[in-house]
Chains A and B, each alone.
Chain A
Amino acid sequence: MNVWTAVLVTAAGCYLLKLIGLSVPAGLLDRPAVRRFAALAPVALLAALTALQTFGHGAHGLVLDARALGLAAAGFALWRRAPFLVVVLVAVVVTALVRLVAG
């Protein structure tokens, strides 16, 4: 399976997930367990993705490098309620600066 297949399968799947909600009668899916999973699964996934992309190195390694400082700065910006793109920019700039200074 190549990248294009992954792109198109994801597109089809995400579209169907959206369509299901608009199409099925409410009550069929609107159960506490489903609602809880839909609310919390993204939290778990996003936290995992944040952690792995900050500390991951290759397929199986973990490392503490300039990205961690960049992300700490981004976390501060987020806490100060900075807009989305500013948060991302802070992470990029701080990471680049740390690498520049550390040589």
Chain B
Amino acid sequence: MIASQRNGPPAAANAPAPPRPLDGDPAGGHQARAVPDRAVVRDALGVGLAVGASGLAFGVAGAAAHLTVWQTCVLSLLVFTGASQFALTAALAAGAAPFAAIAGALFLGVRNSLYGLRLGPRLELPRLLRPLAAHAVIDETTAVAMVQPDRRSTRIGFAVTAVSLYLTWNLTTLAGALGAGALGDPTRLGLDAAGPAVFLALLGPRLREAGEQRSVALLGAVLALAATPLLPAGIPVLLAVVAVPVVGLLRRKRPLEES
């Protein structure tokens, strides 16, 4: 959901487990890296609670976009993937056509499909549980689950992150939506800067490694700005996706410079 947190709490989950007492457990056999359940729960809760608090920003964004408290809360309950929620809200606030607003949100959700592909074989969920688990296939649960050494801790990490994040994200969304309504003029308070700051914070971790990502980000932003005076609201954002194949073609043309 909030990918930027990958450099925060999830990094702790990411860190190779420090030597733990159970590492030498002879019963562990080949699973020498087994992690105690308590450690997995602790890491998962850390991510779930910390990232979940960001629902506050979404609640405020919903209110600033003139969505009702209900609409804002239903987005957090049913969409439950932050970047898509923020994108839809921003597009509607900017007066984009609904189909353009929806398309932008769905483009941002495509990455969750790929998370599911990687998580599926690791979780080995019974068929009946998949529809429920699917709702929680997002940045944070994937980040926590994929660093676990075995199936048991993968499942615990996924479930605890999912539940703690879902509860926190939805409660803070409600708090933000109710609170923002009481604050008054959002512009005077600088709240109109919260939206772009959210997107920048989501983007930040993806730009830490130089290369293709930075080129795509730069070209995407330029395309969207250049198209704004010319195209209907909502379309310039979608146009930015063109940066992906363009950068790919440009890089393929000069492979020698890469190496």
Contacts and interface: CB of A to CB of B under 8 A. Distances in A.
Contacts of B240: 44-45, 47-48
B109 A14 contact: yes
Contact of A13 (B105, B212, B225): B105
B244 A17 contact: no
Interface in B203-232: 203-204, 206-207, 212-213, 216-225, 228-230, 232
Nearest to A54: B196
Chain B binding site: helix, strand, loop or mixed by DSSP? helix
B241 A74 contact: no
Given A42-B108, A70-B193, A92-B197, A30 B117 contact: yes
A55 to B, nearest CB: 6
Interface in A64-93: 66-67, 70-71, 74-75, 78-79, 81, 83-85, 87-88, 90-93
Contacts of A40: 212-213, 216, 243-244, 247
Contacts of A66: 190, 193
Nearest to B67: A3
A8 B79 CA distance: 8
Interface in B1-27: 2-5, 7-8
Nearest to A46: B203
Interface residues of B, number: 106
A34 interface: yes
A45 to B, nearest CB: 6
B13 to A, nearest CB: 15
B40 interface: no
B137 interface: yes
B201 interface: yes
Interface string A1-15: 111111111110111
B39 to A, nearest CB: 22
B197 A91 contact: yes
Given A49-B87, A53-B196, A92-B189, 11 more contacts: A3-B92, A10-B106, A11-B74, A29-B113, A30-B114, A43-B216, A43-B217, A74-B201, A88-B201, A90-B197, A91-B196
Interface of B: 2-5, 7-8, 50-51, 53-54, 56-57, 67, 71, 74-75, 78-81, 83-84, 86-88, 90, 92, 94-95, 98-99, 101-102, 104-121, 125, 130-131, 133-135, 137-138, 187-204, 206-207, 212-213, 216-225, 228-230, 232-233, 236-237, 239-244, 247-248
